Amino acid sequence: MTDRRFRSDSGALEIHETYETLLQRYLPSAVRHTIATSIGDIATITSGSPDAPPVVLLHGSGSTALSWAPTIQRLTATHRVHAIDLPGEPGQSTPTRIPFVVHDQASWLSEVHRELVGGPAAYVGVSLGGWIATAFAASYPDQVTHLILHSSSGFGPRKIAPLVVAGLLTALGEPGRRRALSYLTGPRKNQEPRTELQAQLDLYALRTFAHFSPRTDALPEHSTEVLQGIRGQLTATFGAKDRMLDAVAAAHRIRAEIPSASVELRPDEGHILSDQPALTYNQLASR
C-alpha cells in the first residue's frame, strides 16, 4: 500500500479526489501553496486580501484544512486566511507523523509560518490543532498575537471509554461508523438545518472515518512551563459534554494558570462546537 495513513489505496484516492472536488466547488478562488519543510511538504489553502490581518487555522485529528471551508468563507472579507493541512493527517501534506513533543511540532510550523505569513498572526486551533497551536504560541510568542482554541487538547485528560464505544460501533459497517462519528463529536446543540456545504463536509468526514487510520499515540497535556510561554491573548471555548476531552478540567486549568484568558464552557455542547464560523469571527473581532 502506497500511503499507510489509509487502509487501502482506493480509499486514499477517494478521499483525495473528494477533497479536490469540494475545494473547487466551495472555495474556487482560494490559492494553494505547497511549502517545503524539514519534515516534508506542507499543503495550505489561502484566501482573502494580502493586506488584511492574517489568521492561521489548524484542524483536528482525522480532518483536513477543508473542514474550515465555512469559516474561510466567513472570514475572507476581513482577514487573510491560511488553513494548513496538518502532517500525518488525511489532507495533502506529508504523511510523516511528528511526535507530540512541543519543540518538534512548533519547529515545522515555524517553517510554514515564516514562508506563509512572515510576521505576527492570530492562530485558531481545534482539538489536535489547538495542541499544536499552543505549542507554537509558547515556542514563538512574538509570532502569535491571539491564540483561539476550540475544544483544544493539551489542557485536560482525554477520555478513553468513549473511544471503546466508538470502536464497537464501527464494526457495524457504514451505519455503525455514522453513529460512532456522531457519538464522538456530539452532542450537538439544536440549531438550524445544515447548509449544503456543511452537509457535504459531514459526508466527507464520514468517508474519511471509513478509510483513514488515525494516530493512536498519546497526546500529552501541556506543562505549566509551556503555558507560561504564551504572550498573546488567549481565548478558549469548550463543550461541557465533550465525550473526547475532560472539557471541564481543561477550562478550569486555563482559568487557573492563565488568568487573563477568556474561557467559555458551553453547557449543552460536545466536541464539535456549533456556529464555528460566527464564533471564530466574533472571537477575532474581540481583540
Average pLDDT along the chain, 287 residues, taken 10 residues at a time: 87 97 97 98 98 98 97 97 98 97 98 97 98 98 98 88 55 65 70 85 93 91 96 97 94 96 95 94 90
In angstroms, rounded to a whole number, what is the distance separating the alpha carbons of residues 263 and 171? 37
pLDDT at 183: 61
Q: Give the closest residue to 264 by CA, choosing from 151, 139, 99.
A: 151
% of the chain beyond a pLDDT of 70: 90
H or E segment at 44? strand 40-47
Name the residue among 48, 25, 29 with its Cα closest to residue 281: 48
Residue 191: per-residue pLDDT: 64
**Torsion sign (Cα): 206, 26, 133, 113:** positive
Alpha carbon of 222 to those of 2, 103, 148, 241, 253: distances in Å? 34, 12, 16, 22, 11
CATH superfamily entry for domain 9-285: Alpha/Beta hydrolase fold, catalytic domain (3.40.50.1820)
Q: What is the pLDDT of residue 3?
A: 86
Which one, of 254, 251, 262, 265, lies nearest residue 228 by Cα? Answer: 254
pLDDT tens digits, 269-283: 999 998 999 999 999
Residues 6+ apart with CB under 8 A from 285: none
> Whole-angstrom Cα distance, residue 155 to residue 282?
23
**What digits encode the pLDDT tens for the residues 120-175?**
999 999 999 999 999 999 999 999 999 999 999 999 988 665 554 555 556 657 76
Beginning with the edge strand found earlier in the chain, give each strand of the sheet holding 233-239 in spatial order. Answer: 31-37, 40-47, 80-84, 54-58, 121-126, 144-150, 233-239, 262-266
**Angle of CA points 184, 16, 217, to nearest 5°:** 45
pTM of the prediction?
0.94
